[in-house]
Chains A and B, each alone.
Chain A
Amino acid sequence: MTKFTKLLATAAVAVGLALPAVAQEDPFQIGYVYVGPVGDYGWTWTHDQGRQAVEAAYGDRVETVYAENVPEGADAERVMTQMILGGADMILTTSFGYREATENVARQFPDVHFEHATGYLDDNSPSNVAVYSARFYEGRAVMGHIAGHMTESNIVGYIASYPIPEVIRGINSAFIHARQVNPDVEFRVVWAYTWFDPAVEADAAQALLDAGADVILQHTDSTAPMTVLAAAGAYGFGQASDMIQFAPAPRISSIMDQWGDYYVRRVGEAMDGTWAQSNTWEGIADGMVGIGEMTDAIPAEVRASATALRDAIAAGTYQPFTGPINRQDGSVWLAAGETADDLTLATLRFYVEGLTGDIPN
C-alpha cells in the first residue's frame, strides 16, 4: 500500500467517523396515523398536506413517517407503539376513532407528545395528549348561504355520514343560512354511514337528485357525488379538499380542511419544549377552515354576500348559531341575540326548526 492510498484510507475513516457526528443532530421524528389512503383527495389527503407543510417548514430538523389505512382500535395502538419504538417523538392520530388507542399509548410513553384530531379530553386523559378540530360549521354556513340562493327547486340535498354532533352541527348550520336567504328552501338528508365510499356516495347523490334536489352538500370525502352532479347539471361543494377539478361547475365553492399551520405551530412548540396539553377548535379566522374559490356559476351579488358572511365569521362579528333559533320540535333553543356556547355545539344532537325527518337512531 502506498503512502498516498494510506492517507486516503485514513481520510476516509476520518470522514466516516465525522459524518455520524454531524448527523448526531437527531431530527425530531413525527408519526402520522391515517385512517384512509393518502390518495383519497379527502380527509386523509388534507392531513398529509399538513404533514408536508411541517417538512417544508422545518426541513432537516424533522423527519416524518406515516401509516395509511390504519384500522381504529388495537391495530392503531400497535402502529403508534411501533412508531415510537422506531424513534418517534410526536404522534398525530387523525381520526376520532383513535381516541382510546391514543390515550392508551400516551399513558405508556409519557415523554412523547400526542395530538388527536376531532377528539375530546376528559378527567382521565393523560397530560401528553392534546386534541384539535376545526369549526367546519362556519364553512357550512357559507355553503348553506350559497345553496339557498342557487337552488331553483328549493330542495337542497345533503349527504351526511354518521349521526354524530359534528355532522348534525353542519346540517343545522347549512340549513339556518339557506333559510335566511330563501324561506322556501327544504333540506333532504341521506345518511351514508360512511366517510369514504365512492359507490355509496354516488348512490346517495343520485337519490337526492331523484328527490328533486338541484344543489347538494356532502359531508363525505370522495369526489363521486361530483361526477353524478356533473352529469345531471346540478351544483355541489368541494369537501375536505378543494375538488377544484370539478370547477366551475358542478363544484361552485368548497369547504377545505387546512391543518398545515396548526401542525407547524405544534411541532415547533414540541421542539422548543413549550408544548402543552390543549383543546383547539379553530375556524375560518385561523385558517383551519378554508372557503374555496366561488366560481362564476354563482351570481356576482351572491358571491359578494357569501364573501361578506365569510369575513364576518372570520372577524368574529357574527357567530353562525345566533338566536332566535328553535329546536325541531318548536321549543326555544337560542333566544334572540343569544349565541351557542362551545360545549352545547360540541354535543349537539338535535335538528333546528324547519328541518324535516329524524336523526336516525
Chain B
Amino acid sequence: MIRLIKRPTPSRGWIVATPVLAVIVTMIAGGIMFALLGKDPFEAIRIIFLDPLFDDRFAAYSRPQLLVKAGPLILIAIGLSLGFRAGIWNIGAEGQYIIGAICGAGFGLAFYPSENVLIFPGMVMAGALGGWAWAMIPGILKTRFRTNEILVSLLLVYVAEAILASAATNWLRNPDGAGFPGSRNLSRHAGTANPELLANTGMHWGVVAAFIAVIAAYVLLNKHVLGYQIKLAGQAPRAARFAGVNPTRLVLLCLGVSGALAGMAGLFEVSGPAGQISIDFNVGYGFTAIIVAFLGRLHPVGILLAGLLMALTYIGGELAQLMMGIPASAIQAFQGMLLFFLLALDVLSNYQIKFGREAVT
C-alpha cells in the first residue's frame, strides 16, 4: 500500500528536481502521443527541443527569437509571481498587457511624426501607467468592496479586448491604411521604435527590462523587508497581520507592480516585434505567463528558465508543424502536459511516499 505523508516543509531537493522530471515525463507522454499520430516521436522531440538551438538551418535565427518570445513572458510572470506568493491572484495580466500597449502606442502616435528621443521613454511610462491603472480596478474593488480579484481581473481582459478592437478599427487606426484596421507601424518609425539593440541577438528593450525585473525581484524577495512581507502574507496571513503587514497596501502594491510590468511588456511588444496595434494584437502572453510563473516555482531565476523553456516549446513546436506536419493542437496538448506533470509531481515535494501499512496506534 502506498501512503502519502505530508512533509513538514517542502523538500528542497524535489523542488529543484520536479521541473526537470516534469520535462522528461512530458517528453515520454508527448512522444507516445506523437507516435499515436503516426509521427516519429524521437524526431519530434528532437525538433522541438534541439533544432531551434542547434540545427544548422534554423539555430542562427531561432536562438535570438527565443529571447523575443521569452521576454514578455518573463516580464509579466515576474510581476505575477510577487502577488501569487502573497496570495493575491491577478489573472488579468492579458488585459493589463493590452491596455499598456494601447496607452503607450497612443502616447507615441500622438506625437507622430516627431522623432524626438524623449518619445520612447514617454511611451514606456505611459504603457506602465496604463497597465497599472487597469490593475488598480480589481485592486481598489478588492480593498474597498471586498470583491474577488480573480474574477474582476479576468473579466477585465474581455473589456480590454473590446477596447483594443475599437482602437484598431477606429481611434488608433492608420489614417493612411485605406480604411483597414490597425494602427500605424510603430517599429518602422524612428520616434516610436523599440529596435533590436544588437544585431541578430533578439535583444530589445523589453528583453532588457525582463532581465532587470528578474534581478530586482530577486533582490526584493531576499534582501528587502517588502519581500519578507510578501512571503509572510502568503504563508501565514494572520502572522503577517500581527507582524504589521498592511494587507490593503500589499494588495495594491502587488496588483500595481504586476499590472505595470504587464503594461510595459505590451508596450515593448507593440513598438517592437508586433509593430502595431491590431484587432488580435494580444496573443495570450498574459495567460501563458501564469504557467511560466508556476513552472518557475514563483522564483525569479526559475521564471527566467521557465520563460526560455516555454519559448522553446513554441518555436520548436512550430518547426515540428512545418517539418513533420504535426497539428498545432497536438503541440498545444504537449505544452499542456508540461504544466500538468509539473503540478502533479508537486506531490513529491510536499509529501513523502511511504510503502506498507500505516502502524496502528
The yes or no answer to B180 lying at the interface (CB within 8 A) is yes
CB-defined interface of A324-361 with B at 8 Å, one 1/0 digit per residue? 00000000000000000000001111000000000011
Q: A67-B318, A163-B169, A361-B166 are in contact. Are A74 and B57 (CB under 8 A)?
A: no
Q: Could you count the A-B residue pairs with CB atoms below 8 Å apart for me: how many are there?
A: 114
Q: Spot the interface stretch: A8-16, A94-102, A251-259, A308-316.
A: A94-102
The reply to whether A361 and B170 contact each other, CB–CB distance below 8 Å, is yes
A97 to chain B, nearest CB (A): 5
User: How many Å from the CB of B195 to the closest CB on chain A?
Assistant: 13
| Residues from chain A with Cβ under 8 Å of B321 in the complex | 65-68
Q: Is the CB of B179 within 8 A of A74?
A: no
Stretch from B61-69, B80-88, B127-135, B242-250 contacting the other chain: B61-69
| Structural contact, B180 and A165, CB atoms closer than 8 A | yes
Is the CB–CB distance between A65 and B325 below 8 Å? yes
B332 to chain A, nearest CB (A): 8
Q: How far is the CB of B183 from chain A (nearest CB, A)?
A: 10
If A96-B180, A348-B179 touch, whether A73 touches B58 (CB-CB below 8 Å) is no
B279 close to A73 (CB less than 8 A): no
Kindly state the separation between the CA atoms of A104 and B186 in the bound complex, as whole angstroms.
13
Residue B283 CB within 8 A of the other chain: yes
B322 touching A69, Cβ below 8 Å: no
A250 to chain B, nearest CB (A): 29
Q: Which residues from chain A contact B329 at a C-beta distance below 8 Å? A: 37, 68-69
Number of interface residues of B (CB under 8 A): 44
Q: Does B278 contact A (CB under 8 A)?
A: yes
CB of A50 closer than 8 Å to a CB of B: no
Partner of B179, one of A65, A85, A165: A165
Given contacts A82-B61, A85-B58, A97-B182, contact A77 B273 (CB under 8 A): yes
Q: CB-CB < 8 A to A71: which residues of B? A: 280, 283-284
Q: Give me the interface of A with B, judged by CB distance under 8 Å.
A: 31, 37-38, 65-69, 71-75, 77-79, 81-83, 85-86, 96-97, 99-101, 104, 119-120, 122, 162-165, 193, 346-349, 360-361
Q: What are 20 contact pairs spanning A and B, CB under 8 A?
A: A37-B328, A65-B322, A65-B325, A66-B322, A68-B328, A71-B284, A73-B280, A73-B283, A82-B318, A82-B319, A96-B181, A99-B180, A99-B182, A100-B182, A100-B276, A122-B176, A162-B279, A165-B180, A361-B166, A361-B171
What are the 8 tightest A-B residue pairs by CB atom distance, in nearest-first order? A74-B273, A71-B283, A347-B179, A73-B274, A68-B328, A69-B328, A65-B322, A165-B179
Interfacial residues, chain B to chain A (CB-CB below 8 A)? 57-58, 61-62, 65, 68-69, 161-162, 165-166, 169-171, 176, 178-182, 185, 269, 272-276, 278-281, 283-284, 314-315, 318-319, 321-323, 325, 327-329
